[in-house]
Amino acid sequence: MTELLPNYVNGRWQTGSGEGAALIDPVLATELVRVDATGLDLPAAFAYAREQGGGALRALSYAQRAVMLAAAVKVLQGQRDAYYEIATANSGTVKNDSAVDIDGAIFTLSTYAKLGEGLGDRHFMLDGEMARLGKDPLFQSQHVLTPTRGVALFINAFNFPAWGLWEKAAPALLSGVPVIIKPATATAWLTQRMVEDVVKAGIFPPGALSIVCGSSAGLMDQLQPFDVVSFTGSAETAAVIRSHPAVVRHSVRVNIEADSVNSALLLPGEAAGSESFDLLVKEVAREMTVKSGQKCTAIRRVFVQETMYDAVAAAISARLAKTTVGNPRNESVRMGALVNRAQLVSVREGLHTLQQHADTLYDGSKQEWVDADPALACCLGPVLLGSRHADDAAVVHDIEVFGPVATLLPYRDSAHALELVRRGQGSLVASIYGRDVSAMAKTALALADSHGRVHSVSPDVAALHTGHGNVMPQSLHGGPGRAGGGEELGGLRALNFYHRRSAIQASTAVLTQLG
């Protein structure tokens, strides 16, 4: 039997008492490791994190906690090669795709270490200026932000086992809040290994960082009034979390990132072969194939003016045709596998549903894989769909196929384009391509209310923009409506989720003593 990965709770490593769930190589179909959380004393684990981890973290200043984040960065940097090997085996990703997760995680952690330095030796943050409560300025109100005296429970998705861990944990730990991580079972190995390396380095105080691998049963039951929970995954599971008795009874703060049918929009007036045209084509193809399309921010719908439909379809198809799919260990492969057999089945089913309502413009699903057995590998080539009747293609606006699939849709004019994009009912990101800066600014503002991020790409930033699907720690990650209504990152804004805002009403003399 393969190795059973230990959990880290109550300040010590513990294996579950069951056989555990097997983590499988999605290309070779071999068993890698097992994870299990059966028999763990969860009430004690949460109490230990709150009391020991929380108390120790809050005793430190922001700057002191920032030093710890920086130390964790060095540990992770020293183990990058091992993380890449795990990602290849467990997630089936090529090296460049693994970098998005692993190096993106380290960069995000490093960013919050630097942000924390600027907060200095304080233990709380002022929120705004003092406001007088009467004619005489002697008695005033000052809002403050103090770390919550609870634990942060993270229930993460399978597609970013490294970045998903640290983009949540970095602002939480910097805030002074201990974290308990529940990684998605399918790819828990990388998350567990990163936590293990940091814990063994003795960087954070006991109880500050815990991990539970395997089933999530019982975790939500442990939540208390000052705890917070952050979830990334399906809308169905998000609904269960929001309605959980512990959340409802204790008013537990919840952050959700759920389904998102993201868009790319080529503005009117662009010709085939123009710089903006080429930028759109390149980005769509890239977003369809990076991590085999298994990104919550990937482009799912592509909007172009009616006269550009055929040209864009041909250009994207030509670019996708150059994508080699197969074993990520082969250097000629540019796109690896879906994460497991269940996801392959899900993507195939979703693709079949979309194909009932859209034409198949490019079908890479039947191409031969490089160095991979079709009977074993969870590979699927990129598929570009299209419908000339965007208004009638309701399913295309509603279903997110979490794989290398996107749909091309035409619009009549700018107003029609905005209407179609908004049919996504709230998304994480929309990207805009064009050269008319006035039109781009107007469109960005028009889409801002229904998107967490609007990524505008004009020819002058062709070599500078960070990418439609790349989540930068300086910018907000999250989205309204069906995207979950949550907010993560955005620089120091991320710390707000882990702090409680309170108004202190006192004499000016007292308020000035706050610091």
C-alpha dist (Å) from residue 159 to 45, 91, 131, 291, 339: 26, 8, 46, 8, 8
Residue 213 bears catalytic tag: no
H-type alpha helices, 243-364 = 245-250, 275-289, 309-320, 341-355
- Scored b (16 or more CB within 10 A) or e, 257-269 reads bbbbbbbbbbbbe
Residue 41: what residue type?
D
**Are 177 and 54 spatial neighbours (Cβ–Cβ below 8 Å)?**
yes
Neighbours of 170 (CB within 10 A): 28
Please tell me the distance from the alpha carbon of residue 353 to that of residue 368, in angstroms, as a whole number. Answer: 23
73: tokens are 């960065």
257 belongs to the catalytic site: yes
- Collapse the DSSP code of 14 into the 3-class scheme (helix H, G, I; strand E, B; otherwise coil) and give the result: strand
- Tokens 């169905």: give the residue: 236
Whether the Cβ atoms of residue 377 and residue 333 lie closer than 8 Å to each other = no
Q: Count other C-beta atoms under 10 Å from residue 162's C-beta.
A: 28
Contact predicate 236/346, CB 8 Å: no
- Choosing from 257, 270, 283, 488, the catalytic residue is 257
10 Å CB burial of residue 371 (0-12, 13-18, 19+) is middle
Nearest to 260 by CA among 484, 8, 466: 484
Cβ–Cβ < 8 Å for 287, 296: no
Q: 213, 296, 378, 379: which one is catalytic? A: 296
Q: Roughly how many angstroms between the first and final C-alpha of the chain, as a whole number?
A: 58
384, 320 in Cβ contact below 8 A? yes
CB 380 within 8 A of CB 344: yes
What residues act catalytically? Answer: 257, 296
